[in-house]
Amino acid sequence: MRGGRERDRAGCEEGVRVLDVDEVLAAPAGGDACRGGKAPFSIEAKARDILGEDFLSPVVAAFLYPDLAQRFIPLPVYSFDRARALEQAWERAWHKHTGSNRFAEPLERLWQDPSAWTPALLLNATWVETGKRLIASNLRLRVPGADEDFVDVEDAREFFAPRSLRLSTAAHMSARFTYVSPAGALKKSGTLHGHVVDGGYFENSGATATVEILETLPLMENEDPRWAKVDPVVIHISNEPVAVPVVPGTLEKAPENLNIRPSLWLNESLSPIRAMLNTRDARGVHARATAYWHVGSENFLHFGLCRRSANIPLGWVLSRSTQDRMKAQLDASNPDTRVEACSFDNAGDLDKIRARVSAPAGK
């Protein structure tokens, strides 16, 4: 809570540590919280360490050797799967830097401790044979005999029950990068029911599920009036650097916009492919705009990256320079964050979060 620094010294004398919001997010990995106390946990430091690991090499090694051999073996060998190699790399990185095996444990174990508050999680994937969403979550996506809150989806946990998905598998199911990770097989009791790929094939923002939650909240008030006190805030994080357009992205101005200027080459052959690829982005923009409409400008916080003179490479390894560039766009003192053409007010939105977290209870 804000003001923690003023109470810090007294709190330490009593053996109690009160952390400031900024300390929780960005405290250094070293240093004592109090005399002889334990160093404060730093989310930023842990994220830097984990995301700084190399996740591409295990996938390439598996692709060139065991997974390649699998192409010539008629029976599937689970340990040869390059998708499993990536999941194991995530699990090792998490364990190395946190000391826990949480990423290798069942998904639902995240919510096993009733004394610890853990946010709900929805991991969106796409069912290949139908194009429908396949969501892995701790929430019940379908209630028998009731109207669906999540429209036209399949519940991954319900499908695989009583077996459990590992957290790494559930996360990978929603992020199967084209061809690098193969389409996953949806098997139950030895029978193949379908295949699963990245949730971005349906829409690349995940905002559709957010909109469905926002539309459900008013209905909850009919069952429990306490839901009327809920003030929903949407925090949307776009991880793809956006080039600043020189003109608006409208049909009228399209010929002048480098991002959407129509191509004259192979139009008849490539238009269907271009339309399919661009439609997923358009669905994401539509869902994001709908979420914005539900909560209003003050409660919709959109974080993103602006691409300027130097691109920000978001690959399989986040280099220190890439992480520094991303962090710089959160800094209000950095002139890049104040460029009018950039649609993201990262520093301002971060201040809004700090203000909400620091506000007294009930406000």
Question: Which residue matches tokens 């989806």?
Answer: 153
Distance CA 104, CA 88 (A): 8
B/e letters for 20-35, b = 16+ CB within 10 Å, e = fewer, are bbebbbebeeeeebbe
Specify whether the CB–CB gap between 132 and 153 falls below 8 A: yes
Rounded to 5°, angle at Cα 216 from 121 and 123: 20
Looking at residue 342, its pLDDT comes to: 63
Distance CA 198, CA 183 (A): 8
Least Cα distance to 198 among 206, 187, 190, 210 occurs for 206
Q: What's the Cα-to-Cα distance from 310 to each of 187, 242, 343, rounded to whole Å? A: 44, 12, 18
Specify whether the CB–CB gap between 148 and 100 falls below 8 A: no
Q: What is the mean pLDDT of residues 81-90?
A: 84
Classify 227 as helix, strand or coil: helix
Tokens representing 205 are 């923002």
Question: Which residue matches tokens 């839901």?
Answer: 227
Does pLDDT of 29 surpass 60?
no
Least Cα distance to 159 among 181, 142, 178 occurs for 142
Distance CA 224, CA 213 (A): 16
Nearest-10 crossing angle of helices 43-51, 82-98: 150
Q: What's the Cα-to-Cα distance from 186 to each of 147, 161, 195, 209, 236, rounded to whole Å? A: 26, 12, 5, 22, 30
- Residue 190: how many CB atoms within 10 A of its CB? 5
| pLDDT tens readout for residues 189-231 | 889 999 999 888 888 888 999 999 998 888 888 888 888 888 9
Does pLDDT of 88 surpass 70?
yes
Does pLDDT of 168 surpass 70?
yes
| pLDDT tens readout for residues 278-305 | 888 888 889 999 999 999 988 999 988 8
More confident residue, 183 or 307: 183
Tokens representing 277 are 């690829």
Strands (E), 92-141: 122-127, 133-137
| pLDDT tens readout for residues 318-333 | 677 777 777 787 776 6
Distance CA 243, CA 176 (A): 25
pTM of the predicted structure, to 2 decimals:
0.75
Looking at residue 146, its pLDDT comes to: 60
Give me the phi and psi of 193, to 5 degrees please: -105, -15
Q: In DSSP terms, which residues pair with 136 in a beta bridge?
A: 123
| pLDDT tens readout for residues 110-164 | 888 888 888 889 999 999 999 999 999 988 887 665 666 788 889 998 899 888 8
- Cis peptide leading into residue 182 (ω within 30°): no
Looking at residue 144, its pLDDT comes to: 61
Tokens representing 349 are 């939105």
Distance CA 113, CA 121 (A): 15
The length of the chain is 363
Q: In DSSP terms, which residues pair with 301 in a beta bridge?
A: 235
Parallel, antiparallel, or unpaired: how do β-strands 191-198 and 184-188 relate?
antiparallel
